[in-house]
Structure formats: structure tokens, C-alpha cells
Chain A
Amino acid sequence: MESFNTLIVVLDSTVRLSIPLLLACLAGLYSERAGVFDIGLEGKMLAGAFAAGAAAAVYGSAWAGLGAAILVSGFLALVHGFASITHRGNQIVSGVAINFIAAGSTIILGQAWFSQGGRTPSLDAESRFGAITLPFAEAVQDIPVIGYTYYELISGHSALTYFAFAMVFVTWWVLFRTRFGLRMRAVGENPAAVDTAGISVPWLRYRAVLITGVLCGFAGSYLALAQNAGFVKDMTAGKGYIALAALIFAKWRPVPAMFACLLFGFLDALAIRLQGTPLPVVGRVPAQLFQALPYILTVILLAGFIGKAIPPRAGGIPYVKER
């Protein structure tokens, strides 16, 4: 029983740690499926987190925070779109630029507006996304295994958590069951064909990039308003890149993306749990190995040793309508 409860606790923190990854990963999925590489997920998430923390602190409402995060992150997404769709600039370069602009300006503006060393003021429960207790969770928590799992693991997360899991299936539906999704996938594979069919390639790509911005805003809001009580400088700490790794790991598909994010979140939770405790057989595993594992796994996958990750064919190539 004891070990079962431990497992549930670890899985619970897995969910908490993987939600920002999942939201950012789904965000990246839209953009990359439409043929626009986006390594600026990290920056958009960070700027979103800052906007969420700042707006929630000023207006005292989590929803205001979420709205601000979406606006700021969406704006950065439009900058990325402007550079890489309208001006056909290098998408990687543009993404790198956005990461730096976000990293610098969140600290500068945070310090100038709140004077707390780059943090935003600590939020009270009112202006955060609190835990939602699902119906009957209190009542069934004493039932062994099932009741406890329901109470501890499934219930008691924030609205954004349930939103993230819902988005996995919404994304699947949009991508594979709607006209927009079909066109979006087509524009990532063969934009010339889409163009020939009389559909605007830039407009499709702009919409995809904008969705990416909105979802990154959600990811940032989760960090600042649900996982923590306010923005802390550099709080994404590479999560945008792990999300990118998860996206590749999932081969640009929504449901595998969820599992990849849960796996990477689990590794993180395990690293925290196991800090300093020796494992059977292998002995003490350094925490740094767990931290590096998502990256190592992605490299191995990319090298084609676990299946093969083939990106959308037109990814990274600006579309030129006429020569």
C-alpha cells in the first residue's frame, strides 16, 4: 500500500510537471505542421508567464492574467510569422531572436515595474488557477486504490490542466477531422499544391502560428498562475526546448505528444523524488542524468535508432509564390 501511494504521488507530480510541456508541445505542433519551424516556444512561454504574473498581480484576477499572456505570446507569434512568412526570413534565426527578446525584456520590465529582482508580486489564491476538486472526490478518497487514485491523481488539478488534456483530443480532431487541419497539414508538406488549389498559403500559416502563440500563452499562464504563485525570472528554464524535443519524439502527432510529455514529466518527477536515494542494481544515479535524459532520448530518436522522426517536408522553407 505504501509503495502504491508513493507511486500515485509521483504520478501526480508527473502530471503537474508535464502540463507546461504538453501545452507548449501542442502549440509547436500547429506551427510545425504548417511548415513553420518554431524554436521560439521557450520565449513565447516565458513572455506569457511574465504577462500572466504581472496582469494577475495588477488586476487580481487569474483570467486577466491568462488574457494578457495570450495577447503577449500571440504578439510574439505574429512577429515570428511576419519574419518567416511575410519576409521569408530564416525561421530558426527568428525563433532564436524571440527567445532572447523574451528572456531580456521579462527581467528588465519586471524589475522596472515591480522592483522585486525580476519577480512579479506573489499572488493570493484569488488571482491564481486553484485546484478543482472533482465531484465525489472527497467522498471516495478512503476507498483503497481506485478511490485514492481518483482523489489524488485525477481530481485536484487546476482548470488549465484539464484544458491541456482536452486540447490533445481537440488538436487530434482539428488536425485529422477538419478541413482546416487537412489544409494545414498539406501546407506543411507541399505548399505549392495548396496554392494551386486556390488557398492562401500565408493566411493558413499565419493562423497556425497564431494558434501556437495562444497555446504558448496558456503554457506560460500555467507556470505563473497554477504551478507557482507569480512569475520568477527565467522560470521556463529550457521547458520550451524539452517541449520541442517531445514534439519530435512524438513525430508531430498529438496523442503521442501527450505521452512524450508525460514521459519527460515523469523523468523530472523521478529525479526530484530520487534525489540522493540509491536505486537497486545501478546504485546512485546522478540527478543530472535525469535532467539530460529527455535530450539524450531525443538525440537517439533523431538519429533513427528508435523508429524515425520525419519532420513535415516543407518545414523551415519559406514559400515563394512566383519566381
Chain B
Amino acid sequence: MSTPYAKLPAWADYGLIPFFNLVVAFVVAGLVVLLVGENPFRAAAIMVEGAFGSGRNIAYTLFYSTSFIFTGLAVAVAFHGGLFNIGGEGQAYIGGLGVALVCLSFDSILPWWLTFPLAVLGAAGIGAAWAFIPAYLQARRGSHIVITTIMFNFIAASLMVYLLVGALKPLSSMAPQTRTFAPGGQLPKLNWLIELFGGTVRSSPFNLSFLLALFCAFLVWLLIWRTRLGYEIRTQGFSAKAARYAGIGETRIVLVTMMVSGALAGMMALNPVMGDQGRLQLDFVAGAGFVGIAVALMGRSHPAGIVPAAILFGMLYQGGAELAFEMPNISRDMIVIIQGLVILFAGALENMFRPSIQTLFASLGAQSSGVSASSSERA
């Protein structure tokens, strides 16, 4: 940081640098593919084909993206408040409990369009409550939120196993899952949406919660950039000292931010539980909470970045599943590596390329101003 750098134009800051980081992440991932003895370009082609090749594939891609939009938004909201919520996984898992309790109670009495809002409340409420405890401990007892949210992921997992092999399991069944919900507890599919654009989808789990996810993305934008609360959250995240000086209640902001974050993570459960499987199963979150970290980092914590980042990861998930058929050596765990690399290069090493790009811009800027100066001399 000893040499002064030119300030970057916004498009370089929000476009070029993330793009560079992403390219490096994919190059390293390509090296792993090479190490396994496959052709990385062919692998990439199969992945893209698998994700967007047919209407059915697109539907699956968007189904996975739905979960990642929710968890990405959850991580992003916490980031804005200067908090790192690693607990998205646990909040989503326990959010499934809210969905399941609502669906199990009302699925045979109410139609789906009445169960749905209740399930949203259930998922968001329980997710928020699960995030409330670490938030309270951070704000009031000074314990580090990263550690407590990690601990709460494990506590949530143990609790859910306990409930699913015990109280929530139908007596007649051996599998650790709830009974299948009646139609009143299942969301309608959105396959018609893709068929509208000419794709053919015979069956896919793509469902209504996708629209809810997009709506939440809009709400998060509204909250963070267009409300007083959002301003306070951003101030707190930018400088806790300045926020305190401005009279913003730190405890309140930490609690509210984390509860919003937890609610968003909890709502992720709607997609697999109510939209796809129609019952609560063990481990239905399957790492989506952690993908949210990569999505939020890549999307620069802005909904307009998070939605495409989530779709990119949805593509990796769906394309990765297809890839596993074509290249048996590359299982879906390839995505976990890519996810890790994206987190590393777009998150921890985000400033690696900044100095060189800044010098590049500075020298370009100097050259162009020199040219204009000499041309004005000539004139």
C-alpha cells in the first residue's frame, strides 16, 4: 500500500476485479480436472450443456438457484451489518422445522395458497429465532458471532436428527423423515414458466419459491438501500464507532440484522421441503447454507449480483450432476472445490489483483491525459 493507486472506475471495481478473481478460481479448478486426468474444456462444455441444454435442465438449474438466492441474501444482509453469519446452514435446517410443522398441521385442511404464507412465516420465524441467540450473545455477552454460529450449525444438526428419528417420524416408518404432505402442503411447480419460452419440461422440482426468492431479493435491496434501518445497518457495518457516535443502537442493529439474515436463510427450506420432496428429510439443506457465502462474496452483497451468482452456482450444481454421468471420475464434489476456490479468490484474496489493475489504470490514465495535453498543445 506504499504506492498511491488511482481510484478505479465503478465498472472495474464491481465488474473487472470480480471477473478476474472468478477466472482464476476456474483456472485452478480446471487444473484439478487435469490432475484427475480429464479434459477441463470438455468438462466445462458438458457442464454448460447439462445446465442449459434443455428446458428440463434449465428448470433444475433454477431449482438449485432458488436455494442459493435465499442463503446468499442471508449472508449478504449480515455482511452489510459487519457480521459474518456462517450459521446459514443451521438456520435453513431448523427453518425446515417451521415449514414441516405448518404443513403437517394444515396440509389436509387448507389449500396450498393458504398454507404457503403460513409456512413462510414458520420458516422465517424459526430461522430468525435460531439466529437471534448468537446475535444476542454477540451484542450483549461479547461472544464472537462466527464461532457461535458454527456451534449452532452443529447443535441444529443434532436437534434435527433427534426430532427426525423420534417425534417427527411416523410410527409405521423406519426412514428418518416426516410423512409426505397432502397436496395442501406442496407448492405448485413453475414448469409452465419455462414452457412459455419454448422449453419442454416433463418433470422438475422447479417451484413457486423461486418467485418468492426474487421478491426477497427485491425486498433486501429496498431494505438495505432505501430505508432508514438499512442505512443504520450499513453504517454499523462500515464503522461501528461512527454508528455509536450517530446514536445508532448497536444491540438493536446486531439483533435485527441477524434476525433478517436468519429469516432469509430459514426461508430456503421452503424450496426443497415444500417445493420438491414434500416432506422433511435428514440433511435436506445439503450445503446450500455454505454456498450462500460464496454467492454473497461473488455478488458483492448486492441483490443484483447475488441473483446471477446464485444462478451460476445453480448451473454448477445441475451441470455438475450431468458431468458426473459423463465423467465418472468427476463427481458432484467438484462443485465443492469450485465453491472453495471462489470463496478463496473472490473473498479472502479479493485484493490480490487490485494493485496491479490499479497501476494499470493509473498508467493508462497518465497516458491518455498526456495524449490530450500534447494534442491541445498542437492545436
Contacts and interface: CB of A to CB of B under 8 A. Distances in A.
Contacts of A100: 290, 336-337, 339-340, 343
Interface in A84-113: 84, 87-94, 96-105, 107-109, 111-112
Contact of A83 (B137, B143, B335, B344): B344
B1 interface: yes
Contacts of B337: 100-101, 104-105, 108
Interface stretch (B30-38, B55-63, B186-194): B30-38
A84 B143 CA distance: 22
Given A94-B348, A97-B340, A302-B144, A286 B1 contact: no
B146 interface: yes
Nearest to B134: A299
Contacts of B344: 79, 83, 93-94, 97-98, 101
Interface string B219-261: 0000000000000000000000000000000000000000000
Contact of A299 (B148, B333, B349, B351): B148
A103 B333 contact: yes
B152 interface: yes
B58 to A, nearest CB: 25
Q: How large is the interface on B (under 10, 10 to 19, 20 to 34, 35 or more residues)?
A: 35 or more
A291 interface: yes
Contacts of B1: 320, 322-323
A83 B147 contact: no
Contacts of A91: 348
B341 interface: yes
A109 B339 contact: no
B334 interface: yes
A91 B35 CA distance: 28
A97 B343 contact: yes
B141 interface: yes
Interface string B307-344: 00000000000000000000001110111111111011
A92 B334 CA distance: 22
Which of the listed residues A88, A108, A323 has the most CB atoms from chain B within 10 Å of its own CB?
Answer: A108
Nearest to B344: A97
A288 B158 contact: yes
A116 B57 CA distance: 29
A87 to B, nearest CB: 5
A241 B290 CA distance: 15
A304 interface: yes
B340 A111 contact: no
Contacts of B142: 304
Given A89-B350, A96-B290, A104-B334, A292 B141 contact: no
B341 to A, nearest CB: 6
A111 B329 contact: yes
B97 to A, nearest CB: 14
Contacts of A296: 151, 155
Contact of B137 (A94, A101, A303): A303
Contact of B155 (A82, A244, A295, A320): A295
A89 B154 contact: no
Contacts of A94: 344, 347-349
B347 A245 contact: no
Contacts of A256: none
B159 A288 contact: yes
Contact of B86 (A83, A92, A309): A92
A302 B333 contact: no
Interface residues of A, number: 51
Contacts of A111: 329, 331
A307 interface: no
Interface in B130-156: 133, 137, 141-144, 146-148, 150-152, 154-155
Nearest to B336: A104
A245 B150 CA distance: 10
Given A89-B349, A98-B340, A291-B158, A245 B151 contact: yes
A93 B151 contact: no
Contact of B154 (A82, A87, A102, A295): A295
B137 to A, nearest CB: 5
A88 B347 CA distance: 11
Contacts of A79: 344
Contact of B340 (A104, A241, A286): A104
B351 A88 contact: yes
B36 A112 contact: yes
A175 interface: no
B343 A96 contact: yes
A99 B294 CA distance: 13
Interface in A22-68: 37, 39
Contacts of A104: 333-340
A298 interface: yes
A136 to B, nearest CB: 42
28 contacts: A84-B348, A88-B351, A89-B349, A90-B84, A93-B348, A97-B343, A97-B344, A97-B348, A101-B337, A101-B340, A103-B333, A104-B337, A108-B32, A109-B32, A109-B35, A111-B331, A241-B150, A292-B155, A292-B158, A292-B159, A296-B151, A296-B155, A299-B155, A302-B137, A303-B137, A304-B143, A322-B1, A322-B2
Given A82-B349, A288-B162, A292-B159, 20 more contacts: A39-B146, A83-B344, A83-B348, A83-B349, A93-B297, A93-B344, A94-B348, A96-B343, A97-B344, A97-B347, A99-B340, A100-B337, A104-B338, A105-B337, A112-B329, A241-B154, A292-B154, A295-B154, A302-B143, A302-B147
Interface of A: 37, 39, 79, 82-84, 87-94, 96-105, 107-109, 111-112, 238, 241, 244-245, 248, 286, 288-289, 291-292, 295-296, 298-299, 302-304, 309, 311, 320, 322-323
* Cβ-closest 6 pairs across A and B: A100-B340, A104-B336, A302-B143, A104-B337, A94-B348, A89-B348
